[in-house]
Amino acid sequence: MTPLLDVRDLVVRHGPVVAVDGVSFSLGAGETLALVGPSGCGKSSTATAVLGLRRPDAGEVWFEGREITRMTERQLRPLRPAMQPVFQDPYGSLSPRLRVRDAVAEPLRVQGRWDRETGPARVAELLETVGLDPALGDRRPYELSGGQCQRAGIARALASDPRLLVLDEPVSALDPGVRAGVLNLLVDLRERLGLGCLFICHDPALVRHFADRVAEMRAGRIERFS
Ligand SMILES: Nc1ncnc2c1ncn2[C@@H]1O[C@H](COP(=O)(O)OP(=O)(O)OP(=O)(O)O)[C@@H](O)[C@H]1O
């Protein structure tokens, strides 16, 4: 079967620094692969290349059987909703200007899927899906706790009906007390929605709880899978 994501011999350089040095892995639909390793080993650089946010210097990224590495922005645009990032900083993924309700609605509007009749109920449903009271939709991000804000960012990602989530340290900035809640939410969503997840994390203990497979990265390379 065609994998959801197939990364082949990926190389990413930042000037003279070789951040990713020939990384290959694949990920099936509904599967979670964790990328673990020390700070600076190239995890985030891998993520940005997978998401098509930067072109790799060499190698290929295939998404659902299509090679996206050499696509133009125009060709890539219809695929972008299917691959959604969730970043470390919960406040960074939501515009401070927008109420949470509008931030979650924005992908629906941008993708031409907003319906004035059903849209508000869809937004409320998305907020409930991530364990937030829809009444919090009236607030702006800075009026939410870190955990609530990360949940709102996940609701926004889900508004695009993604098939792949690329989670870059999604709970690392949260208080230890709320981490487990957000992690359990991610486990639940992954199972309910059949999402493929590339889960980037520096904490091997967290990863064991969450991933089907673990790729250990060091100095730009995957040293082993377990
Ligand atoms: N925009 C950039 N410009 C220059 N060097 C960069 C840039 N982004 C990353 N690097 C370098 O590339 C290497 C890999 O960084 P990357 O952020 O991908 O690793 P990481 O494993 O995600 O680290 P962390 O867990 O600290 O985020 C590091 O040496 C880093 O300093």
What number is the ipTM of this complex?
0.96
Q: What is the pTM of this model?
A: 0.94
What is the distance in A from the centroid of ligand 1 to the CA of 135?
A: 39
Which residue has its alpha carbon closest to ligand 1 atom 6? 14
Residue 104 gets which letter from DSSP? H
Which residue has its alpha carbon closest to ligand 1 atom 7? 14
Q: Which of the residues in the chain have pLDDT under 70?
A: none
- CB atoms inside a 10 Å sphere around CB 138: 10
Is the C-beta atom of 42 inside 6 A of ligand 1?
A: yes
Which residue has its alpha carbon closest to ligand 1 atom 2? 14
Q: Give the model's pLDDT for residue 209.
A: 77
Q: Give the model's pLDDT for residue 93.
A: 84
CATH number assigned to the domain comprising residue 98: 3.40.50.300
Domain count of the fold of the chain: 1
Q: Give the model's pLDDT for residue 208.
A: 80
Q: Give the model's pLDDT for residue 69.
A: 95
What is the distance in A from the centroid of ligand 1 to the CA of 2?
A: 30
Q: Is the dihedral of CA 226, 28, 73, 95 positive or negative?
A: negative
Q: Give the model's pLDDT for residue 224.
A: 95
Q: Give the model's pLDDT for residue 203.
A: 85
Closest atom of ligand 1 relative to the 200 alpha carbon: 22
Q: Give the model's pLDDT for residue 215.
A: 96
Q: Which two tokens stand for residue 183?
A: 């992690």
Residue 142 gets which letter from DSSP? G
The Cα–Cα gap between 52 and 93 comes to: 17
Which residue has its alpha carbon closest to ligand 1 atom 17? 44
Helix, strand or coil, per DSSP, at residue 51 = coil
The boundaries of the domain holding residue 100 are 5-225
Q: Give the model's pLDDT for residue 57.
A: 98
DSSP annotation string for 144-184: S-HHHHHHHHHHHHHTT--SEEEEESTTTTS-HHHHHHHHH
What is the distance in A from the centroid of ligand 1 to the CA of 45?
A: 6
Q: Give the model's pLDDT for residue 204.
A: 82
